[in-house]
Amino acid sequence: MAEVAAIKPGRSHWMHHPAARSAVLGLLALSLISAALLGFELLSEDVAFDFSQIVYVIVPAGAGLVVMGAAMTQDGRSKVAWLTVGAGVLAWGIGEIIWVYYEAILEVEVPYPGWADVFYVLGYPLVFVGMLLLPHVKPRRLERIRLLMDALAGSVAVGAIMWVAYLGDQIYLDPELGFLEQFVNIMYPLGDVFLLVGLMILAVRRSSLRFDARLLALAASMIITFVADYIYLIQVEADTYMSGGWLDSLWLLDNAAIIVAGWYLLRGVKTTELVDRSTRIWQLAAPYGAIMLLFGLTLLDIGGDASILQIASGVVGLLIIGRQGVAIRENRELVEKQRDDLIASISHELRTPLTSVQGFAQLLKERGEELGSEKRVELTEIIDRQSRHLGGIVTDLIDVTRNRLANTDLEVDTMDLGETITDAANMLPESTETKVDFNAESGIHILGDRRRVTQVLVNLLTNASRYGQGRVEVEAYANHGHVTIEVHDNGSGVPKRYQEVIWERFERGAHRLDATIPGSGIGLPIARSLVEAHRGTIAYRTSDRLGGACFVVSIPRLTSTVEKVVDPVSSPA
């Protein structure tokens, strides 16, 4: 599911009015100009203080209102997410207004903790929840688990780093302090952790947009906020913070970034509905960058007092992270190689019957009148047989790739096993010097789906013809209420190491890299699924007759009920 709600251009709204857009651009210009004036200290100390008080009444709250107003032009989850982010920014703006009220109007020390702190603290969880609610491409089940684990791993690492950096020194519980003061003491540093965790989640989320300026602006705002908050704590501890100083320019830049996000919300972005792209390498690596930093800080912290166990744990952790990066690259290359091998194998599999159909059809078209009726019938039968074989290959591919076998009902009827084996032999593609000998008891009848049983036999006979050395034997007999069918060939057989994996989809065992022998690796998985659907079993053993492979099928001779076909992926190997 693509993030349709997040990328849909906004509906007609008062925020789309030219005057509203001009106001947004004016607010952005004010925040940038003010940041430049304060950051480069272009104003005198007294003027800078008064100027900063005026700007902080307008810009922060204005930024929150811009985002909230722009969010109203959106739909669905995108609307809720950006409204929540805007509410958090507005809470910070209200806190600034209260601060200015005490500091500039009443000219008294700002109470701590006070209402300003309440709104400051409230802004952090609101912005964090808003980032969590941002719509994204719905991941697959395993991908969802991986993304969650990546985000958690990165978040734990960030939290540990933050604790070492300053949380441990900033969070203190004094029994003489009131509950509100203790709560504020804890929430200020934890609020910055919320921002970093939110950034981690933004980094690993999957978007249907190749370039989303709204999220980049939001991420920039959170990074600037974190840096400014951290510098503020250092200055407060050193008693060097001054209102109207260069540090205030960072918070104004933070608000400018938020206004940019609101501007892009108003403009809308080009719709890329149903565009789903894979996760980028940097998104996979982002959480592990924090983990590597954590390990590095751990090794530096323990220094010369480190035990062998501590050093080894840190080094092993770094090696595991490096191994994860190599594994990601290795898996991608393996998937690409398997895809190429599969395409080559299927192409080779389809080429033989297709060539026969095209060649004989062309012959009938160009020289049909010159050929006798008997020859034309023969060619027509070959075309029919090869086209049915070609259709069977395509059907097998569709069934096994879409797991359609798991939902297919069998058309149960009584069938003569000897006739079914003969039909299967007649459906084989034209083979070069492959001799098939039959030894089947007469009068054996089973209850099942004739088309599906024939499909099983065709798959086994085709397999024996391909990997044998020109000789195939089929034996069928009744055995204690079951019918047993054995297909022998005089090939090299299946090596022991591959006797389990040959039942998996697209797996060709020892011939997985052999492009000279056609095959797609789905015949045996399909055969196993269909046999199990008839409450039977299929197994491999070395042929005691011809010395090659022997596949043994056992099906109940007469059953009153037959279950649905089992998915070849979920059936035990």
Q: Of 122, 68, 116, which Cα lies nearest the Cα of 96?
A: 116
In whole numbers, what is the pLDDT of the chain averaged over residues?
77
268 within 8 A of 10, measured Cβ to Cβ:
yes
Q: Of 435, 348, 398, 400, which Cα lies nearest the Cα of 527?
A: 400
Mean pLDDT value across residues 553-570? 56
Q: Which amino acid is at 359?
A: G
Least confident of 44-48, 237-241, 384-388: 384-388
pLDDT for 425: 80
Give yes or no for residue 466 having a pLDDT over 70: yes
476 vs 209, more confident: 476
Give yes or no for residue 349 having a pLDDT over 90: no
Give yes or no for residue 374 having a pLDDT over 90: no
Mean pLDDT value across residues 177-206? 74
The pTM (predicted TM-score) of the whole model is: 0.56
Give yes or no for residue 282 having a pLDDT over 60: no
Reported confidence tier of residue 568, pLDDT bands at 50, 70, 90:
very low
Give yes or no for residue 10 having a pLDDT over 50: no
pLDDT for 258: 95
Give yes or no for residue 385 having a pLDDT over 80: no
Give yes or no for residue 254 having a pLDDT over 70: yes
pLDDT for 341: 64
Q: Is the peptide bond before 113 cis (omega within 30 degrees of 0)?
A: yes
Spatial distance between the Cα atoms of 343 and 508, rounded to a whole number of angstroms: 14
204 vs 357, more confident: 357
- Assign 489 to helix, strand or coil: strand
Q: Of 524, 28, 522, which Cα lies nearest the Cα of 267?
A: 28
pLDDT for 8: 44
What is the tens place of the pLDDT at every residue in 32-55? 999 999 999 888 888 998 899 999
| Range with top average pLDDT, 51-55, 419-423, 512-516 | 51-55
529 within 8 A of 571, measured Cβ to Cβ:
yes
Reported confidence tier of residue 17, pLDDT bands at 50, 70, 90:
confident
pLDDT for 564: 43
Percent of the chain surpassing pLDDT 90: 20
Spatial distance between the Cα atoms of 545 and 488, rounded to a whole number of angstroms: 7
pLDDT for 396: 66
Give yes or no for residue 391 having a pLDDT over 80: no
| Range with top average pLDDT, 169-173, 229-233, 251-255, 329-333 | 251-255
Taking CB atoms within 8 Å and a gap of at least 24, the contacts of 448-451 are 448/410, 448/412, 448/413, 448/415, 448/534, 448/555, 448/559, 448/562, 449/410, 449/411, 449/412, 449/413, 449/530, 449/533, 449/534, 449/562, 450/411, 450/413, 450/415, 450/420, 451/411
DSSP string, 191-256: HHHHHHHHHHHHHH---S-S--HHHHHHHHHHHHHHHHHHHHHHHHHHT---TTSTHHHHHHHHHH
- Assign 552 to helix, strand or coil: strand
Give yes or no for residue 276 having a pLDDT over 60: no
CB atoms within 10 A of CB 482: 16
Reported confidence tier of residue 199, pLDDT bands at 50, 70, 90:
confident
Least confident of 158-162, 228-232, 511-515: 511-515
33 vs 354, more confident: 33
Give yes or no for residue 423 having a pLDDT over 70: yes
Reported confidence tier of residue 124, pLDDT bands at 50, 70, 90:
very high
Reported confidence tier of residue 570, pLDDT bands at 50, 70, 90:
very low
66 vs 401, more confident: 66
Spatial distance between the Cα atoms of 115 and 373, rounded to a whole number of angstroms: 100
Query: Reading across the β-sheet that carries 435-440, which strands appear in turn?
Result: 435-440, 471-479, 482-489, 549-556, 537-542
Least confident of 172-176, 301-305, 513-517: 513-517
236 vs 48, more confident: 48
Mean pLDDT value across residues 285-302? 64
Give yes or no for residue 240 having a pLDDT over 50: yes
Q: Which amino acid is at 193?
A: V
Q: Which sequence spans correspond to the domains of the chain?
A: 1-137+211-275, 141-206+277-304, 404-556
3-state helix, strand, coil in the chain (%, to 5): 65, 10, 25
Spatial distance between the Cα atoms of 461 and 469, rounded to a whole number of angstroms: 13
DSSP string, 2-37: --HHHHSPPPS-GGGSHHHHHHHHHHHHHHHHHHHH
Q: 33 Cβ partners below 8 Å, 6+ apart? A: none
Here the tokens at position 135 are 């719509």
CA dihedral defined by 348, 352, 355, 359, rounded to 10 degrees? 160
The CATH-assigned architecture of domain 404-556 is 2-Layer Sandwich (3.30)
Q: Which amino acid is at 115?
A: W
| Range with top average pLDDT, 148-152, 279-283, 284-288, 354-358 | 354-358
Q: At what angle do helices 417-426 and 450-467 cross, to 10 degrees?
A: 50
Reported confidence tier of residue 511, pLDDT bands at 50, 70, 90:
low
| Range with top average pLDDT, 96-100, 283-287, 424-428 | 96-100
| Range with top average pLDDT, 53-57, 283-287, 501-505 | 53-57
Structure letter (DSSP) for residue 447: E
